[in-house]
Structures are given as structure tokens and as C-alpha cells.
Amino acid sequence: MIKQITVFLENTEGRLAALTHTLRRANVNMHALTISETSDYGLVRIICDDPDAALAALRAEDFRATETNVSAIEVPNRPGGLADLLDTLASLNMNIEYGYCFSSKGDNAVDVFKISGHAHTAEATFKLEEAGFKALRQEDLA
């Protein structure tokens, strides 16, 4: 289980740039960034080396930012890697609210998931570990 930073951004020019400047000043290094957008606003989700520092820096500059626990699972970087993981989630009756993938090292990819409901994230991570997957911890990203 790792911490993800979510930032609410209006769909206007320069907002995303401003966000990255804030993180640069806070000396935060990002591993992943995704944007979900509607016509009026976007949600930017960030995985980084120091989520607490990122959150503090963003809030200090009036960004609407929040911290969310997500599961980050390492899967082998080969065809079917993600399918195996999803099968396991389905068999555990776990529903994914959103998710995205990034590769960190050559041999493995990292899949990030928000499992529906807060309490489920820790439980999901634990059960996936039980099923043999490697779940990343915050220290792995620092």
C-alpha cells in the first residue's frame, strides 16, 4: 500500500505547469502522474518519492490536494502479467475504482489500483500479497 496524492485542477492553461513547479520547489520526484478530466476540471493523481512533503507543499500554495491509499502491485513485465492480477482481484470480489500502470524497472511493471471503499485498500493489498504478488511500500519509492 502506498500513498497517492490527488489534486483537483481547473481546466485552464498553466495549472498543471504550476503544480509541477510547486513539486520541483519541494524537491519531490514523481514516479507516475495521470490526469482524469471532465469538461470543467481534472483530477491529477501522483505517485512520488515523498507524498507528505508533496501534500504540504501543494496545500501551502492553495492547491486542493488530498492523500489516498492505493495498492501498488508489482507484476512481471510480460504478456498476461496484468491479466493474472485482475483475475486474482475478481476472485477476491474486489472492484477497481480506477487504476493505472507504470514500469519502474526492466523486469517488472507496477500497477496502481484504487479498490472501492477505503477500508478495502489495506485488505486488498494484504490479500494480493497472500496470493503471491509483491505489493510496493512507501519505502520502495523513496
Residue 88 identity: T
Look up residue 114 and give its three cell numbers.
484504487
Between 56 and 75, how does the x/- string for binding to other proteins read (CB under 8 A)?
---x--xxx-x-x-------
Q: Is 114 in the site for other proteins (CB under 8 A)?
A: yes
Of 36, 91, 95, 103, the one binding other proteins (CB under 8 A) is 36
Q: DSSP letter at 119?
A: T
Interface segment toward other proteins; rule CB under 8 A; list 8-16, 47-55, 75-83, 120-128 = 8-16
Q: Is 13 in the site for other proteins (CB under 8 A)?
A: no
* Backbone phi and psi for residue 32, each to the nearest 5 degrees, phi listed first: -150, 150
Look up residue 94 and give its three cell numbers.
474486489
Of 15, 26, 30, 101, the one binding other proteins (CB under 8 A) is 15
Q: Is 34 in the site for other proteins (CB under 8 A)?
A: no
Q: Which of 47, 45, 42 is nearest to 28 (CA)?
A: 47
Nearest distance from C-beta of residue 107 to other proteins, angstroms: 30
Q: Is 134 in the site for other proteins (CB under 8 A)?
A: no
Of 26, 41, 81, 82, the one binding other proteins (CB under 8 A) is 41
Q: Which of 53, 51, 62, 74 is nearest to 19 (CA)?
A: 62
Look up residue 88 and give its three cell numbers.
486474482
C-beta separation of 73 from 53 below 8 A: no
Q: Is 126 in the site for other proteins (CB under 8 A)?
A: no
Please state, in angstroms and rounded to a whole number, the distance separating the CA atoms of residues 42 and 115. Answer: 20
Site residues, other proteins (CB under 8 A): 4, 6, 8-10, 15, 36, 38, 40-41, 43, 45, 59, 62-64, 66, 68, 97, 114
